């Protein structure tokens, strides 16, 4: 069962607008097709501001995505980059974030702004500042 709850703006303060987004970290989550056996896709996380050490060779893509370690309350942008041939999406399970960035294409967001599928060769920036520490999962879905 999936339950969607819409939270409307405060009627007493309709002019209230969210503050500018001060992302303290910027990551890239790259989705690409996998060759060989196993899942049809591979996930790679990059942090351009903190390049990997050249002394370490890149690891083979694991069967599940690499962990993304965030700091509670720290604003972060995660650019979901689609290098597949199909539209796709990443859905963040259990993390409290604005509906638009939740990652369910054509369903989450608002009537004025609905989350798009990430088209091949394109990207989507998810913004979040997880309020609670813990372990959460993300799931990949082909969005047709």
44-79, pLDDT tens digit by residue? Answer: 899 988 876 555 555 555 567 788 889 999 999 999
Ordered strands of the 25-33 beta sheet: 41-46, 25-33, 76-83, 123-128
Residue 9 lies in a domain: no
Write down the pTM of the prediction.
0.80
CATH number, position 113: 2.60.40.420
Quick one: average pLDDT of 80-89? 94
Q: What is the DSSP letter of 42?
A: E
Please answer whether residues 141 and 102 qualify as being in contact, where contact means their C-beta atoms are separated by less than 8 angstroms.
no
Residue 134 lies in a domain: yes
pLDDT at 5 over 70: no
pLDDT at 115 over 80: yes
**pLDDT above 70: percentage of residues in the chain:** 76
DSSP for 22-40, please give it. --SEEEEEEEEEPPSSS-S
Q: So what's the pLDDT on residue 86?
A: 92
Quick one: average pLDDT of 78-105? 89
Helices (H) and strands (E) in the chain, counts: 0, 8
Q: So what's the pLDDT on residue 8?
A: 67
The alpha carbon of 49 is separated from its chain's Cα centroid by a whole number of angstroms, namely 18
Tokens coding 43 = 């996930």
pLDDT at 112 over 60: yes
Which structural domain range is residue 126 located in? 25-49+66-142
Extended strands (E) in 34-136: 41-46, 76-83, 88-93, 109-110, 113-114, 123-128
Residue 41 lies in a domain: yes
Q: So what's the pLDDT on residue 66?
A: 80
Number of domains composing the chain: 1
């Amino acid at each position: 069962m999936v339950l969607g709850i819409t939270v409307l703006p405060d009627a007493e303060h309709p002019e209230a607008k969210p503050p500018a987004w001060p992302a303290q970290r910027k990551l890239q989550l790259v989705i690409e097709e996998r060759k060989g056996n196993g899942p049809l896709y591979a996930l790679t996380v990059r942090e351009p501001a903190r390049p990997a050490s050249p002394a370490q060779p890149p690891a083979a893509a694991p069967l599940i995505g690499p962990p993304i370690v965030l700091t509670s309350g720290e604003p972060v942008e995660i650019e979901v980059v689609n290098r597949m041939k199909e539209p796709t999406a990443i859905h963040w399970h259990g993390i409290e974030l604005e509906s638009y960035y939740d990652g369910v294409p054509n369903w989450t967001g608002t009537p004025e702004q609905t989350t798009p599928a990430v088209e091949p060769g394109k990207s989507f920036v998810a913004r979040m500042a997880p309020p609670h520490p813990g372990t959460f999962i993300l799931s990949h879905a082909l969005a047709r």
